[in-house]
Amino acid sequence: MKPAVKVAVTGAAGNIAYSLIFQIASGNMLGKDQPVILQLIEIPPAMGVLQGVLMELDDCAFPLLESVMATDDIHKGFEDIDYALLVGARPRSKGMERSDLLLSNAEIFSAQGKAINAVAKPSVHVLVIGNPANTNALIAMHNAPDISCKQFTAMMRLDHQRTLAQLEIKTGVHHTKITKVAVWGNHSATQYPDINHALLDGKAALDCVEQAWVENALIPTVQNRGAAIIEARGASSAASAALSGVYHMNDWILGSHHNDWISMAVCTSGQYDIEQDLIFSFPVTCDHEDYKIVEGIEMNDFSLARLKITEQELIQERDAVRHLL
């Protein structure tokens, strides 16, 4: 057996974490040969609910789960961790403006970044799931100056999976046979699901669907899927978000499959003429706890215009929280 690794999860009594924690403990995230120590973090009013989660973890008797700790102290929760999944955030509710969500969560991620910087392992890998995830990740990253910016990411995998699902529904090609899908930009209604280079069982996706469907159905459906789920069930997506976090970390830490593209929001340094110092989603490949942005993708005018729209939104979000950077 490998030595156990420490995994911190914030918002551990929430709906997303409830689905996520059991996936981690079962080995679905880091591998069936990787023991884990869970360090679960919540706010004081939710600690009672979290005790119920601990009871269920006990009852599951996971072979890979070495120990569990629950705390409302972020410094204890992040101490000596290898991986952090920052799930806890004020949830987006029906009718809530994105700007309100941004400001209400900004100070949370500022404090978490500082605590990670102070007590986590220097090699810690951080995934931000709590929305608005891209800018929350930027805030946490800036408040952890001793940790490489490449070790902070935000989750766009849910949008990537949503794009695959819509292509499967449209064409009948199973999603496991669809490759080279990309989702660019922000986890918001400005994101750009891009199938210009996608292959459906080896055949160009654009030969299988109409451009009008791409522009009028695929893109807006993926962009607004989160809001549609809130409208339908009265709450944000939880199970699909948790599973996407598992996929994200599994590929990042263990390597992406068959060298296919996955979508991850990472810190920019000028790629594709996107402004530096944003957390922006690109197609990437992963290997040995590292990622590499796929470079040299040809972009048509339609795609370039879409990238600029989502870039501008991220610039505006960054400017709104600049006092915390």
Which of 160, 187, 197, 248 is an active site residue?
187
Angle between helices 133-142 and 301-320 (to 10 degrees): 50
187 is catalytic: yes
Which distant-in-sequence residues (6+ apart) come within 8 Å of 319 by Cβ?
A: none
Cα distances from 139 to residues 28, 107, 129, 149, 287, in angstroms, run 29, 9, 13, 11, 26
Q: Which residue has the tokens 């500022």?
A: 110
Burial 148-172 (b: 16+ CB within 10 A, else e): ebebbbbbbbbbbbbbbbbbbebbe
Going by C-alpha positions, the residue among 89, 75, 64 that lies closest to residue 10 is 89
Distance CA 125, CA 250 (A): 12
Q: Which residues are catalytic?
A: 187
